[in-house]
């Protein structure tokens, strides 16, 4: 698929029935250890307490999600409330179709409605698709690089903190 379907529906997920498929989609997107999967009880708790969990549905099937929560951005002696975007996942059959970008735009808009001025997230800049998506498509500003600081999906990864001022 090369373009997000027009009938793609984005929905804020808040209860266990809506959120359970997110747990399963994580296992499909990142096969391996179940320890890497954010469990449903955590997703529900965050979604019901000022976090955001947005699902992308095509013909009533969950094909992507974005998940984040409130955090603090520490700069010098000042801390600022922010949205920490923890995870974005798209079903393999729907990659390169714009689903991820639509989810991130929806997240950005909802975070603005919460009155926040900053979103941060981590990504692996050594994965060129990942870097292109975050910098070129989303307009992220990268201000921190941590070599081999992120253990994700069974491997140690490079990490860069991306800032998205709102």
Which domains does the chain carry? 9-165 (3.40.630.30)
pLDDT at residue 165, as a whole number: 59
DSSP code at position 164: E
Report the pLDDT value the prediction gives residue 64, as an integer from 0 to 100. Answer: 97
pLDDT value for 132: 83
Predicted pLDDT at 133 = 83
SS3 letters for 33-53?
CHHHCCCHHHHHHHHCCCCEE
SS3 87: strand
- Bridge partners (DSSP) of residue 139 are none
Closest listed residue to residue 125, CA positions, set 104, 102, 148: 148
Place of tokens 């266990």: 16
Extract the residue ranges of the chain whose pLDDT is less than 70.
Answer: 1-5, 145-166
């Amino acid at each position: 698929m090369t373009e997000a379907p027009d009938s793609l529906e984005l929905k804020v997920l808040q209860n266990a029935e809506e959120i359970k498929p997110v747990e399963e989609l994580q296992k499909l997107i990142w096969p391996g250890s179940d320890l890497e999967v954010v469990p449903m009880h955590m997703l529900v708790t965050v979604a019901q307490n000022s976090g955001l969990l947005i699902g992308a549905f095509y013909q009533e099937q969950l094909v992507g999600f974005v998940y984040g929560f409130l955090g603090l951005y520490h700069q010098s002696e000042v801390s600022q409330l922010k949205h920490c975007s923890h995870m974005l996942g798209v079903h393999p059959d729907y990659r390169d179709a714009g689903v991820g970008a639509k989810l991130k735009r929806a997240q950005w808009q909802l975070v603005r409605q919460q009155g926040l001025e900053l979103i941060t997230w981590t990504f692996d800049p050594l994965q060129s698709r990942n870097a292109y998506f975050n910098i070129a498509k989303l307009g992220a500003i990268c201000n921190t690089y941590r070599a081999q600081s992120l253990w994700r999906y069974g491997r140690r990864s490079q990490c860069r903190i991306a800032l998205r001022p709102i």
